[in-house]
Amino acid sequence: MKLVKDIDNNENSKSISDKEAEEAFKTILAWMGEDPSREGLLETPKRVVKAFKEYFKGYKEDPKKILDKTFGDVDGYDDMVVQKNISVQSHCEHHMAPIIGKAHVAYIPKERVVGLSKLARVVEVFSKRLQTQERLTMQIANTLMESLDAKGVAVTIDSTHQCMTMRGIKKEQATTVTNYYLGQFKEDLSYQNRYLRFISITKD
């Protein structure tokens, strides 16, 4: 059963032009107390629109297509595949402030494996959307489980939320850790424990 509904890339799509978005940012600049017509800000709305296209490019990408191609020539390998320290740059949906951290991903293949770069790309697609860390963790796990027909999936994210380090409570050292387990990782604590040991190992 799918526990988290993915955002349809076209469900909320509107035909809003770059120019309209730039005008909206001009309004925000004026609301802040700035003069959008002064020299230093003339190109700012255009630059912000360009930056937002990069920050939120995940809305235009389908993570399941990334996992379409798998490989069966693995000589029966059936233990976990763990990828650590995948960088995460996202934005919280409540304040649109950056979320910066790392993701760790593991899956247990049934018969086929996927290229290692694809795991990081799935993290990237979901990160490049407005998010809560809890939902981001679950979306990555559910997509890997369903698309790879895996025996189990584990996902951990450890990140800093600038909505609470730069504003509000302003606790600069606070980090948030979320975990989500499916299949054998959820049913068998020995798999969870091995996975947690693997992701805690650091290089000297």
How far is Cα 54 from Cα 197, in angstroms, rounded to an integer?
34
3-state class (DSSP) for residue 102: strand
Q: Which of 20, 23, 43, 94 is catalytic?
A: 94
Q: Which of 34, 83, 89, 95 is catalytic?
A: 95
How far is Cα 150 from Cα 156, in angstroms, rounded to an integer?
17
Catalytic residue check, 139: no
Catalytic residue check, 163: yes
Q: Which of 91, 104, 161, 184 is catalytic?
A: 161
Catalytic residue check, 91: no
Closest by Cα among 129, 130, 126 to 147: 126
Q: Which of 34, 61, 89, 93 is catalytic?
A: 93
Give 61-101 as a DSSP string.
--HHHHTS-EE--STT--S-EEEEEEEEEEEETTT--EEEE
Catalytic residue check, 146: no
| Contact indicator for 183, 145 with CB cutoff of 8 Å | yes
Catalytic residue check, 104: no
Secondary structure of 131-162 in HEC code, one letter for each residue:
ECHHHHHHHHHHHHHHHHCCCEEEEEEEEEEH
Q: Which of 133, 139, 184, 192 is catalytic?
A: 133
Catalytic residue check, 39: no
Catalytic residue check, 22: no
Give me the half-sphere count of Cα atoms (radius 13 Å) on the Cβ side of residue 204.
Answer: 0
Q: Which of 92, 131, 139, 184 is catalytic?
A: 92
Looking at the annotation, which residues are catalytic?
92-95, 133, 161, 163
